[in-house]
């Protein structure tokens, strides 16, 4: 008589829904450009490489840059506008988008003083789908969250934050879904702060 032994190997399962670090999710919104740790010049260059258009504004004197950078000297600021016709999220449809980076400079020292992020959509359905996907991603990786109606702008907003030993860099984000007053288009905006900030 022959005895047949069946060996079952136990292999850990890795699912597609595994969460990613909060910082990586934020980085994805900037087309995988690390706006937290790279130098200003590297950020400007890398965003230019992934954008469909890069517009550089005029260098202007700015007292607010002195205050923001806590440095005295001849302060200037310049705005870089990066335009996109593709989505930073896979399998999501957008019409257009932009990332606007304001750079302050004092005596050769550079600092990003502001970043604006906005994507517009052909219709309300695409905008809501994009907003829902962002909410899904950040709900899975945040320790605090809030999704509510934005009565002032007839839309919605979602706030997400992370706290803990391994939380560093940008730890708070807010997304707004609504209709732009000027272009009359549905849009989603992102800012790297919210009411949960300490």
Tell me: the pLDDT tens digits for 149-175? 877 667 899 999 988 756 667 889 999
Q: Which domain holds residue 34?
A: 22-191
Answer whether residue 1 is part of any domain. no
Answer whether residue 4 is part of any domain. no
Answer whether residue 56 is part of any domain. yes
Helix axes 124-139 and 22-29, enclosed angle (nearest 10) = 160
SS3 content of the chain, % helix, strand, coil (to 5): 20, 35, 45
pLDDT tens digits for range 6-63: 333 333 333 334 568 898 999 999 999 999 899 999 999 999 999 999 999 998 888 8
Domains: count for the chain: 1
CA distances to 161, 162, 169 from 165, rounded to whole Å, are 14, 10, 12
Answer whether residue 17 is part of any domain. no
Neighbours of 75 (CB within 10 A): 21
Report the mean per-residue pLDDT for the chain.
Answer: 85
Answer whether residue 64 is part of any domain. yes
Answer whether residue 69 is part of any domain. yes
């Amino acid at each position: 008589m022959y005895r047949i032994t069946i060996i079952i190997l136990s292999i850990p399962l890795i699912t597609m829904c595994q969460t990613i670090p909060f910082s990586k999710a934020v980085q994805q919104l900037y087309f995988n450009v690390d706006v937290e740790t790279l130098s200003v010049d590297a950020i400007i260059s890398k965003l230019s490489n992934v954008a469909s258009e890069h517009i550089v504004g005029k260098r202007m004197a700015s007292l607010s840059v002195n205050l923001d950078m806590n440095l005295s000297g001849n302060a200037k600021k310049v705005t870089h506008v990066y335009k996109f016709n593709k989505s930073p999220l896979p399998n999501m449809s957008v019409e257009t988008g932009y990332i606007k980076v304001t750079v302050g400079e004092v005596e050769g020292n550079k600092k990003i003083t502001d970043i604006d992020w906005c994507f517009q959509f052909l219709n309300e359905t695409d905008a809501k789908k994009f907003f829902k996907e962002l909410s899904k991603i950040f709900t899975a990786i945040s320790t605090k969250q809030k999704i509510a109606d934005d009565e002032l702008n007839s839309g919605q907003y979602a706030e997400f934050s992370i706290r803990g030993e391994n939380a560093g860099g940008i730890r708070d984000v807010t997304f707004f879904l609504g209709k732009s007053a000027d272009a009359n288009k549905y849009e989603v905006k992102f800012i790297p702060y919210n009411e949960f900030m300490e």
